[in-house]
Structures are given as structure tokens and as C-alpha cells.
Amino acid sequence: MAVTVAVSSSQVMEMKNIYCCKEHVEYGLEEVINESEVPPKLEEVKEQLPTVTCEYCGQLAEYIVSN
């Protein structure tokens, strides 16, 4: 059984990833909630991304916050 869902152009949401350190993870969570109005997804940065920095302070990022 196939389900078809109609989505208007105003409902299309752009995926956003915010890299942040432990100190600024709350800022990232709030930004995703305020912009997308959906619960954010929080993941730890994996070992393959050791040079990714926090978007708020430039320290090494520990988390990825996304919608």
C-alpha cells in the first residue's frame, strides 16, 4: 500500500546541521527549535570529524544539532 502526502512549498524544510562544543550546545538546540519548530536531533561528533569547530566559539565541536 502506497501513501501519498501533499506538501506545499511553505512546508518544505531545509536540513540544517549546527556543530557546537559542550558549552554552546544549548544555543544550537534553541536555534533549531526557533527556526524549524520541530524537536532537534542531537548527535556526538564522530572520530572522523576531528577538525570540525563550534559555530559559536571556534573550539572543537563535540555535538551536531540538526532538525
pTM of the model: 0.72
pLDDT of 49 > 80? The answer is no
Average pLDDT, the chain: 83
Which residue type sits at 41? K
pLDDT, tens only, 29-45: 999 999 998 899 999 98
The 10 Å Cβ neighbour count of residue 3 is 4
From residue 41, alpha-carbon distances to 6, 15, 19, 65 in Å are: 25, 11, 12, 6
pLDDT, tens only, 10-24: 555 678 899 999 999
Q: In the structure, what pLDDT confidence band is assigned to residue 4 with cuts at 50, 70 and 90?
A: low
Domain ranges of the chain: 14-66
Query: How far is it, in rounded angstroms, from Cα 44 to Cα 55?
Result: 15
3-state secondary structure of 7: coil
Query: How far is it, in rounded angstroms, from Cα 24 to Cα 53?
Result: 11
Residue 41, C-alpha cell as written in the block: 536531533
